[in-house]
């Protein structure tokens, strides 16, 4: 039994841990769980910290349980900003659960015969037939409103500075989540719940419920990891186009790779401990090398390679690297012109590819019309005009201004035009 808590500690993945957790886990093989909202059919990288905690749990010899929050997801956790959640019908819920499991399987072992094989459960299964009356009688009775009100997440919503108040549904959330822990404790002998720092209050409601309902000799543990932040204070895991998903249909492997490659130095030092399985020694070495030659961005490259390969594949990773080199290396119009069609499409896989009618192009399409209405690269002519004035637009790697006239000499392989908005945003326009 490896020291699980210690492993997370040096990786900076512990925000708070209940006393006794480390001692207990060093002596006993146990099960631990993390909750995941099934609001989409894919995980995004915000979920990854929880998944990595489960991964380390399994590596340490314990049993990881991924809890899909089919029931809790319908309510909405008041500790987040999230307001009303939409109710998922059961078919969607099951489909999402299934897709999530596939992605989790890239990290966790659900298959082999080992004792600590990972488990996936859905709290909808035990909540759906639980009536309101039964719930308030059997569960609600054990927890006082006073206790629930003392939670930070509730206080914040009830206090004078709150503008929206809090519905009874949201108030009940912690109890429903707490019941999950009780259920897993009783049915799966699960003694540990993990989550983000914002989940501490919810988790302790669970441990409290276990103690009060089952008796004080029952031990349950809690462990939270810090909220993943960016050094500049921005939200982690968001890009211009929204969440970074694990599903290649939502976020292409190229974009995925680019996300990690673009992480700042300061963040890279943190993230490499959290999102890769490299040893402490290896990471220290990398940080040292990076410090000696920061421009080589060894940390970012290692980080991007490790995660892209795990989530997608080695081939996807290599394609992303190749594409990045062409796009960000010393590429010129000439390099682009030399690419054959297959290579071109390969490089720009994962880049938006709007289409334009050949007839319109041949008629001498106006630059603004082309950049805005026809391709949607810019939301309006005004925006396109502004960007052109800011010298932010490049066509086939050539900076252009408002007076530029497109013509057939701009076509690569007779049917493609590459437009760049700023340095990093590429578009491959197809003439059809």
Partner RNA sequence: GGGGGGAUACCGAAGCGGUCAAACGGGGCAGACUGUAAAUCUGUUGGCUUAGCCUUCGGAGGUUCGAAUCCUCCUCCCCCCA
Footprint on this chain of RNA (rule: CB under 7 A): 158, 160, 162-165, 231-234, 240, 258, 261-266, 294-295, 297, 300, 324-325, 327-328, 368, 372, 379-383, 385-387, 390-392, 421-425
How many beta carbons lie within 10 A of that of residue 139, not counting itself?
18
Q: What angle do CA 240, 245, 248 make, to 5 degrees?
A: 110
Active site residue 281: no
Active site (annotated) includes residue 235? yes
- In the complex with RNA, the residue whose CB is nearer, 49 or 347, is 347
List the beta bridge partners of residue 119. Answer: 65
C-alpha span between 390 and 43 (Å, rounded): 37
Angle value at C-alpha 101, between 100 and 105, nearest 5 degrees: 120
Catalytic residue flag (residue 47): yes
- Asked if 276 is an active-site residue, the reply is no
Catalytic annotation present for 106 = no
For the bound state, the minimum distance from the C-beta of residue 38 to RNA, rounded and expressed in Å, comes to: 26
Nearer to RNA, 221 or 271 (CB): 271
The question of whether 302 is a catalytic residue gets the answer no
**Catalytic residue, candidates 15, 39, 301, 333:** 39
Q: Is 174 a catalytic residue?
A: no
Nearest-approach distance from CB 88 to RNA, in angstroms: 24
> Which candidate in 235, 338, 391, 423 is catalytic?
235
In whole angstroms, how close is the CB of 355 to RNA at the nearest point? 20
85 has catalytic annotation: yes
Closest CB to RNA among residues 338, 389: 389
Question: Which of 11, 21, 30, 47 is an active site residue?
Answer: 47
Active site residue 177: yes
Helical H runs in 221-357?
253-261, 265-275, 280-292, 298-311, 314-328, 333-338, 341-347
Nearest distance from C-beta of residue 425 to RNA, angstroms: 5
Contacts of 50 (CB under 8 A, 6+ apart): 34, 35, 36, 194, 195, 196, 225
Q: In this complex, which beta carbon is closest to RNA, that of residue 133 or of residue 293?
A: 293
Instruction: Give the alpha-carbon dihedral of 241, 244, 248, 254, to 10 degrees.
Output: 80
Dist. CA 68–CA 146, nearest whole Å: 29
Q: Which of 85, 230, 310, 430 is labelled catalytic?
A: 85
For the chain, what is the largest distance between any 2 Cα atoms, rounded to a whole number of angstroms? Answer: 82
- Output the smallest distance, CB 159 to RNA, in A: 7
By annotation, the residues acting in catalysis are 39, 44, 47, 81, 85, 177, 198, 235, 238-239
């Amino acid at each position: 039994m490896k020291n699980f808590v210690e492993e997370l500690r040096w990786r900076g993945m512990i925000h708070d841990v209940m006393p006794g957790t480390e001692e207990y886990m060093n002596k006993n093989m146990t099960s631990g769980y993390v909750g995941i909202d099934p609001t989409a059919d894919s995980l995004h990288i915000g979920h990854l910290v929880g998944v990595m905690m489960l991964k380390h749990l399994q590596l340490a010899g314990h049993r990881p349980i991924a809890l899909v929050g089919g029931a809790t997801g319908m309510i909405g956790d008041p500790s987040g900003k999230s307001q009303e959640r939409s109710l998922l019908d059961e078919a969607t819920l099951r489909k999402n659960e299934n897709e999530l499991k596939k992605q989790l399987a890239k990290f966790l072992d659900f298959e082999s015969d080992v004792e600590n094989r990972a488990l996936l459960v859905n709290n909808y299964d035990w909540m759906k037939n639980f009536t309101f009356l039964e719930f308030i009688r059997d569960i609600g009775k054990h927890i006082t409103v006073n206790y629930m009100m003392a939670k930070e997440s509730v206080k914040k919503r009830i206090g004078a500075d709150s503008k929206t108040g809090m519905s009874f549904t949201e108030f009940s959330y912690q109890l429903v989540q707490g019941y999950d822990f009780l259920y897993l404790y009783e049915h799966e002998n699960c003694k540990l719940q993990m989550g983000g720092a914002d989940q501490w209050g919810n988790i302790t409601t669970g441990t409290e419920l276990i103690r009060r309902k089952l008796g004080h000799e029952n031990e349950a543990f809690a462990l939270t990891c810090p909220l993943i932040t960016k050094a500049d204070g921005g939200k982690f895991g968001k890009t211009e186009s929204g969440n970074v998903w694990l599903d290649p249909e939502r976020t292409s492997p190229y974009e995925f790779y680019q996300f990690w490659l673009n992480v700042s130095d300061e963040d890279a030092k943190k993230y490499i401990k959290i999102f890769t399985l490299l040893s402490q020694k290896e990471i220290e070495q990398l940080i040292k090398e990076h410090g000696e030659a920061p421009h080589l961005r060894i940390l970012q490259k290692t980080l991007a390679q490790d995660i892209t390969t795990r989530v997608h594949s080695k081939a996807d990773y290599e394609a992303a690297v190749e594409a990045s080199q062409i796009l960000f290396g010393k590429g010129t119009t000439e390099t682009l012109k030399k690419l054959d069609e297959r290579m071109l499409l390969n490089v720009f896989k994962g880049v938006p590819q709007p289409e334009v009618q050949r007839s319109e192009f041949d008629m001498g399409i106006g630059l603004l019309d082309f950049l805005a209405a026809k391709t949607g690269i810019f939301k309006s002519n005004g925006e396109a005009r502004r960007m052109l004035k800011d010298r932010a637009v490049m066509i086939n790697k050539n900076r252009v201004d408002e007076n530029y006239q497109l013509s057939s000499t701009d076509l690569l392989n007779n049917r493609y035009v590459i437009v760049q908005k700023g340095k990093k945003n590429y578009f491959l326009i197809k003439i059809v």
